[in-house]
């Protein structure tokens, strides 16, 4: 199950990904991300929180790269705030950690 929380009133705008972002959820996630982009202004700063994202596969990583590309086209910066261990390791294995640098989640 995938859930997206979009906080447009917060500056910078924040997207929080929750649950799973795999091939099974990527269509739903794509639609949710497109809805979040609709009406957003060009130039700015968005934050992406992935600390509640339990599972991600290469389809999910591809979707995040597409999101980053769309924001870049709008001259909007995307900052990955934190990522759970699984998604962070996947980005490292796929050598995408330089494109989507995800900081580890702070342990309590």
**Is the bond leading into 87 cis (omega within 30 degrees of zero)?**
no
Do the domain assignments include residue 87? yes
- Look at residues 102, 84, 82, 105 and name the one whose alpha carbon lies nearest to residue 92: 102
- The domain total for the chain is 1
Do the domain assignments include residue 108? no
Query: Which domain does 25 fall in, by range?
Result: 2-93
Instruction: Supply the pTM of this predicted model.
Output: 0.87
Identify the CATH number of the domain in which residue 51 sits: 3.30.750.24
pLDDT tens-place string over residues 60-108? 999 999 999 999 999 998 889 888 999 989 999 999 878 887 766 655 4
Q: Report the pLDDT value the prediction gives residue 108, as an integer from 0 to 100.
A: 45
Do the domain assignments include residue 107? no
Is 5 in contact with 21 (CB distance < 8 Å)? Answer: no
């Amino acid at each position: 199950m995938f859930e997206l929380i979009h906080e447009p009133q917060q500056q910078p705008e924040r997207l929080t990904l929750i649950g799973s972002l795999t091939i099974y959820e990527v269509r739903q996630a794509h639609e949710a991300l497109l809805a979040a982009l609709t009406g957003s202004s060009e130039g700015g700063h968005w934050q992406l929180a992935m600390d509640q994202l339990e599972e991600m596969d290469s389809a999910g990583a591809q979707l995040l790269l597409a999101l980053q590309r769309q924001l870049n086209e709008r001259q909007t910066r995307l900052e990955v705030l934190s990522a759970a261990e699984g998604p962070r390791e996947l980005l490292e294995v796929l050598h995408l950690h330089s494109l989507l640098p995800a900081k580890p989640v702070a342990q309590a």
